Amino acid sequence: MTITKINYCSWEGTPAVSAYYPDGRILAYEYNDDKWVQVHEADVSTKAVLIGEAAFKKRWPDLVLPAFPE
């Protein structure tokens, strides 16, 4: 299943993303200790600042997004 939308965020200065699926699932990740860690989507949506894809890539240009499950 493909992702319909990704929110690019900064959570207390660290990268975070939320991936939205057509079936209603939302998976969220925070980059911490040099790896992506799955976190609760409610934390990202309420505590992280939405910065957009361009700003995210400018701030963390070499960061590869997590491997989102199908």
pLDDT digits (tens, 9 = 90+) for 44-58: 999 999 999 999 999
End-to-end alpha carbon distance in the chain? 5
Residue 1 pLDDT exceeds 80: no
Contacts (Cβ under 8 Å, ≥6 apart) of 48: 9, 10, 11, 12, 16
Query: Could you tell me whether strands 35-39 and 49-50 are parallel, antiparallel, or unpaired per DSSP bridges?
Result: unpaired
Q: Rounded CA gap, 70 and 66, in Å? A: 12
Tokens coding 44: 């990202």
Stated pTM of the model: 0.92
Residues 13-34 pLDDT 10s: 999 999 999 999 999 999 999 9
pLDDT of residue 70: 81
Place of tokens 């199908």: 70
